[in-house]
Amino acid sequence: MTRLFLFLATNIAVIALISITFQILGIEGLLAQNGVDMNMQALLVMSAVIGFGGSFISLAMSKWSAKRAMGVHIIENPTHPQEKWLVDTVASQAETAGIGMPEVGIFQSDVVNAFATGMSRNNSLVAVSTGLLQQMTADEAEAVLGHEVAHVANGDMVTMGLIQGVVNTFVIFLSRIVGFFVDRVILKNERGLGIGYFITSILAQIVLSIFATMIVMWFSRQREFRADEGGASLAGKQKMIDALKRLQGDQAEDLPGEFAAFGINGGKPTGIKALFMSHPPLEERIAALERS
């Protein structure tokens, strides 16, 4: 709760700083001189409502979406030893990590992968692929489960939702500013919002969203290192290293959409694509664990 409060307080301070900076630099005055009747504070509030609203709605629906998008079968009453082992392992790790018992599920995929999602530390889902259960040893699978439980314990779902909300706010706010500036200052439009505003703000939002995605994915990659450390703590360092090495031979791609950031395997990034990957290269993750 303290971390959540500090994160929100920091974001509010940053937004306030932007507003003050625009005033000091005289941007509001320049726009006003050119007939722009724009309320910067109102625009900031609107941007934050849209930016954080979309992010938190997505977070609130994450478990529901995951179950349907990935076809996750929730294990309510284990019907065979493998399911019982999964539930018991997650229960033991969750207790050690000090979180509520997550829902445990399996989704059909030949690819070795797993993910965690949910609204909070005590309302989460941990799911593994059938490919993971078929191709990994019990020790490797235990480490993967530890990695996912660590994501939950670290509050990564909420943290990533907040980061996404912040960058969404900046994208919306700055793209509107660019649109107003082009429409009124450059094109000298004096009647409402002209076509220049709409076209420019849309283009600016697209460009800014690309940079925003790079920022969010950078944070996601840092969370993976922490989750690896958590998995090593819960299951054992060598087990976590062995699990990551097993993934090196797999050709997995990112999980779809919002689930990619919380999977165990994010594919193999190359070139410019690496800036948009939710996971660091496996060799870097293995090296980080070996150094710890």
Decide if 239 contacts 140 (C-beta within 8 A). yes
Residue with tokens 């993976």: 224
**Tally of residues, the chain:** 292
Decide if 243 contacts 140 (C-beta within 8 A). yes
Residue 28 annotated as catalytic: no
Set 103, 140, 148, 224: catalytic member: 148
CA distance 85 to 89: 6
CA distances 83 to 66, 75, 92, 104, 130, Å, are: 19, 7, 14, 9, 11
Q: Which amino acid is at 290?
A: E
Decide if 245 contacts 152 (C-beta within 8 A). no
> In angstroms, how far apart are the furthest CA atoms of the chain?
74
Q: What are phi and psi of 137, to 5 degrees?
A: -75, 170
Residues with catalytic annotation?
148
